[in-house]
């Protein structure tokens, strides 16, 4: 495990307490060899068929499996161009994948298709995803799933150094792009509401969101989460004011209280 993976994994465990492992994502360009010491399962080789990237991420974060994807392993046709394995196919440039499933008109479908998050070029040869405690590489992106309270803590950590906002966009589809392509190519933290495909095939729960951190932000994000925790206003578990508030008793209870405490 690399130093940053060890530190990030420890921070997530202690300060965020997520239900699943944080996931490291390593991008290999075409022509780059995946090191032999990265012992990963491949969908076609090890399972006998292709799998969607969201399925691999779920296996990494829930089961602790290290997964390696190439073009030949990726089942989701959207994921093939979103993750930079292939160019956007001419047959969908008119919006015909988004319409009529997600938009009222073909024109609206084209707008949705044109703004789908994806790698800027089809130059990706392989993508490896691993739970941080098994990642023997320095990731390009770290993806952490959590509930609303945990995501807010991640947002607070991400902006601790710079201030401002974590700006994200949602379309309800192609969310592997928001989780991997956007932080990787735009070098920014990103919040993702997992889409329908990820819920159907990746089995992502209805109360889960994802937070992605690019390599350049690992250190500031890590330190930001810890610093905002130590500041005391925001923590996981969420501080509950009612635990230290004097109870307001029903009349009968209050009468008995007054009797005992004359």
Parse the chain into domains and list their residue ranges.
Answer: 3-240
Binned at pLDDT 50, 70 and 90, residue 233 comes out as confident
What tokens does 62 get?
A: 């829930």
- Contacts of residue 202, defined as CB under 8 A and 6 or more positions apart, other chains included, come to 52, 54, 55, 57, 58, 194
What tokens does 45 get?
A: 């080789």
More confident residue, 1 or 50: 50
The pLDDT tens digits of the residues spanning 202-227 come to: 999 999 999 999 999 999 999 999 99
**In degrees, to the nearest 5, what angle opens at C-alpha 177 toward C-alphas 175 and 8?**
90
Res 126: pLDDT: 98
Res. 2: pLDDT tops 90: no
User: What mean pLDDT is predicted for residues 104-122?
Assistant: 96
Closest to 152 measured CA to CA, from 225, 216, 222? 225
User: What mean pLDDT is predicted for residues 17-22?
Assistant: 98
Can you state the percent helix, strand and coil of the chain, rounding each to 5?
A: 40, 15, 45
User: What mean pLDDT is predicted for residues 114-133?
Assistant: 96
What tokens does 95 get?
A: 């919006």
Place of tokens 């997530």: 12
User: What mean pLDDT is predicted for residues 232-236?
Assistant: 91
Q: 3-class DSSP state for residue 210? A: strand
> What is the maximum alpha-carbon separation in the chain?
83
The rounded percent of the chain whose pLDDT value lies above 90 is: 93
Per the CB < 8 A criterion, the answer to whether 225 and 156 are in contact is yes
Residue 51 CB coordination number (10 Å): 23
Res 260: pLDDT: 96
Res. 240: pLDDT tops 90: no
| Chain mean pLDDT for the chain | 96
Res. 160: pLDDT tops 90: yes
Binned at pLDDT 50, 70 and 90, residue 243 comes out as confident
The pLDDT tens digits of the residues spanning 84-99 come to: 999 999 999 999 999 9
Q: Say how far apart CA 124 and CA 53 lie, in whole Å.
A: 14
- pTM of the prediction? 0.93
User: What mean pLDDT is predicted for residues 8-23?
Assistant: 98
Res. 1: pLDDT tops 80: no
């Amino acid at each position: 495990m690399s130093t940053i993976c060890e530190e990030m994994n420890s921070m997530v465990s202690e300060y965020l307490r997520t239900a699943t492992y944080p996931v490291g994502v390593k991008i290999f360009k075409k022509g780059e060899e995946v090191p032999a010491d990265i012992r990963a399962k491949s969908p076609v080789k090890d399972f006998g068929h292709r799998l969607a990237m969201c399925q691999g991420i779920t296996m990494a974060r829930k089961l602790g499996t290290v997964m390696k994807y190439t073009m030949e392993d990726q089942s989701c046709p959207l994921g093939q161009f979103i993750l930079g394995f292939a160019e956007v196919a001419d047959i969908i440039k008119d919006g015909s994948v988004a319409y009529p499933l997600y938009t009222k008109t073909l024109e609206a479908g084209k707008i949705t298709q044109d703004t789908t998050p994806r790698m800027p070029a089809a130059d990706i040869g392989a993508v490896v995803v691993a739970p941080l405690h098994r990642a023997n590489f320095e990731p390009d992106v770290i993806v952490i799933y959590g509930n609303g309270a945990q995501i807010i803590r991640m947002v607070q950590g991400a902006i601790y150094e710079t201030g401002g906002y974590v700006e994200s966009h949602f379309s309800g589809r192609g969310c592997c792009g928001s989780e991997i392509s956007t932080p990787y190519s735009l070098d920014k933290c990103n919040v993702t509401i997992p889409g329908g495909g990820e819920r159907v095939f990746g089995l992502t729960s209805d109360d889960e969101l994802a937070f992605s951190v690019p390599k350049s932000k690992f250190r500031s994000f890590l330190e930001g989460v810890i610093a905002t925790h130590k500041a005391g206003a925001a923590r996981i578990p969420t501080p509950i004011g009612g635990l230290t508030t004097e109870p307001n008793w029903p009349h009968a209870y209050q009468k008995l209280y007054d009797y005992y405490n004359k």
